[in-house]
Amino acid sequence: MSKSFWFFISLFVSVQLYGQIKGGELEEVVIVGRRPVKQAGTTITSIDSMMMKETSSGTFAELLSKHSTIYVKTYGGGSAATVSFRGTAASHTQVEWNGVNVNNPMLGQVDFSLIPVWFVDKTDVYSGGSSLQEGSGALGGTVSMGSSVDWNKKLYGAVMQNVGSFGLYQTFVDVGGGSRKWQMRFRDMYDEAENDFEYLNRAIPPFEVVKQENADYKKQGGVIDVNYNAGQGNFLSLNLWLLSASRNLPTIMSYQGAGRTETQDDTDFRSVVRWNKYWGRFRSELTASFSATRVDYFLSNVTGLTSSYVNNDSRSEVNSVQGKYRLEYSPSERTTYRLLGDVAYHQVDVYDRKQSSGYAHDRVEAGLSLSAHRKFSDAVAGFVLLREDVCDGRWTPIMPSVGLELGSFAGFTVKANAARNYHQPTLNDMYWSPGGNPDLRPEEGYTGDLTIGYDHSAGAFAFDAALTGYISDIDDWIMWRPSEFRYWTAENVRSVLSRGVEIKASVQMNYAGVKARVGGNYAYTRTTNEDSSSEGYGRQLIYIPEHKGAINADVAWKGFYAYYVWSAVSERYTAESTEATRHTLRGYDLHDVTVGKKWNIGKGCAIDTAVKVNNVGDRKYQSILWRAMPGRNFMVSVKFSYN
């Protein structure tokens, strides 16, 4: 296949600092940001632009793994990647793009390896009960990502070319601009790799270094953003997303057959239309969207010199229509009332041509929430929220959420919130043939967290830190278990208790032309099976590490810059057996380094060159049992930008 070049548009949020010159010296300017009253008492973390720049050519799996406390479980380079947020399952993390939920209703989860960081301008992470601010179902939390607009840009863009180890080839182009009336942007990407790295096979004696085969992938797609200022407080926007991926899935380390072919082709289309209106003390947002997803999966095993046996040849199609309306009324700067209503229709068609099995089903979901947010004084603020959902005619009990925030006392703030939440069974859980169970109950979660934060700045230095403790009790956890009919079936069988501690901190310096930042995060997660009738009673759930942490640092001076990221994950269980030593996956840590230089070559034009080394220590590790991960690898990047 010939190499393809793709074109992109980037929107950057301008930050303007104003000062006055007096007596020939620049006076110090103190900028005080006021936290919106509607965020008081919530736990929301924004991933800053520097972190997104460090992973701009990567996927959200890489971004969240390095720069959040969320644990990412990946099946290997280019393969599927799912998350565990505060010890919950992948389907318990809700994901939004420009205000619309993008979780697959068939599986209930998102493959983060299919979300390029290049397509996204801003990312907010809602933890625990704070996720009810955006909707229900997020027993762990919500990842909200989207596009931003700068009405002052006339023309801007960027072209980036990357080449790297194992046949990696990436092209990104970025073009956009407009006026204070119209802003348009187009971004696209092409990403391919042979993915044929060498690894130590620990599954089959004698342990040897072998080369991974049949693991190549190709991804390509684009995003279009159109924004229109209609005047009188009316703003219209259109966001389009199209991404396709073709992946060869390699065999696991322990495979000893004659050979096999396993492939997966994904196509995702998303469209979002929004109308924002501001008038007086009111603000409203009306959102409508349509999305279509198709997944083709094929698996065959070699049975002879010239023959093979087809195990699976399936096609899955999902079409979704969603609508959301948000209304806010602020009678004063200290009080805001919010109403949020949403409705969704999903249609799923799954069929395996080899197995002659599948299902076709649709689902209607709707929800309504009301909340009041109040700043009682300069030091006390809080909110109360009530929500109720209906799914296929079945109502959930009312879901309350409350939050309180105290601060600031000498730079300290204290936040606490608690919530009740429900997560609906996925369509696969209910209708997969065989084993689906249409009588499944929604999973019910009670969660609470307490955060102590500290923020201080002095001269050229700034420091912030936060310590959070949380607990979450989830009942009717859905599991697939062997049945008396010799196939697996979905059941509400488990009670799970998750509790833990999260720590985040960073220090920044801007002195004598040197900009530097050091930050880090750590998560202790204890998630245990509280079902006394099961074999794994009292044990940590599989593939959830007790310890996860990262340290990241960046420095810039006269166009030179460097990034460093250290990330670590502790051991994980791979089975619910009580014999921990036989079913444990070893922990690992990784070091990634990037160095580069940016040259300004003309008015608004720049060239940025960089070299990135991943897994500097050439660590041999596995994220999933018997799934190979790459050792030390390199990437060279050249980027031209006009702004």
Give the start-to-end residue ranges of the domains of the chain: 21-642
Other C-beta atoms lying within 10 Å of the C-beta of residue 96: 21
User: Mean pLDDT in each 10-residue stretch from start to end of the chain (643 residues)?
Assistant: 34 30 35 68 89 92 94 90 95 96 96 97 94 94 95 95 97 96 97 95 89 95 98 97 97 89 97 97 98 97 85 96 98 96 97 94 97 94 97 94 91 95 96 93 96 93 96 94 82 92 96 94 95 80 95 96 97 77 85 96 93 96 93 97 93
Question: Nearest CA to 515 among 53, 27, 45, 11?
Answer: 53
Other C-beta atoms lying within 10 Å of the C-beta of residue 161: 16
Per DSSP, the residues of 443-499 read EEEEEEEEEEEEEEEETTEEEEEEEEEEEEEEEEEEEEEE-TTSSEEEEEEEEEEEE
**Which pLDDT value is given to residue 237?**
98
**Which pLDDT value is given to residue 36?**
80
Superfamily of domain 21-642: TonB-dependent receptor, beta-barrel domain (2.40.170.20)
**Which pLDDT value is given to residue 577?**
67
**Which pLDDT value is given to residue 28?**
36
Note the residue count of the chain.
643
Beta strands in 30-92 (DSSP E): 44-46, 71-74, 81-84
**Which pLDDT value is given to residue 21?**
31
Residue 167: DSSP 8-state:
G
CA dihedral 631, 636, 640, 641 (to 10 degrees): 30
Give the integer Cα–Cα distance in Å for 110 and 527: 21
Parallel, antiparallel, or unpaired: how do β-strands 93-97 and 141-146 relate? parallel
H or E element that contains 63: helix 60-67
**Which pLDDT value is given to residue 14?**
29
Question: Nearest CA to 87 among 144, 141, 129?
Answer: 141
**Which pLDDT value is given to residue 560?**
97
**Which pLDDT value is given to residue 580?**
54
Other C-beta atoms lying within 10 Å of the C-beta of residue 554: 20
**Which pLDDT value is given to residue 538?**
85
**Which pLDDT value is given to residue 622?**
92
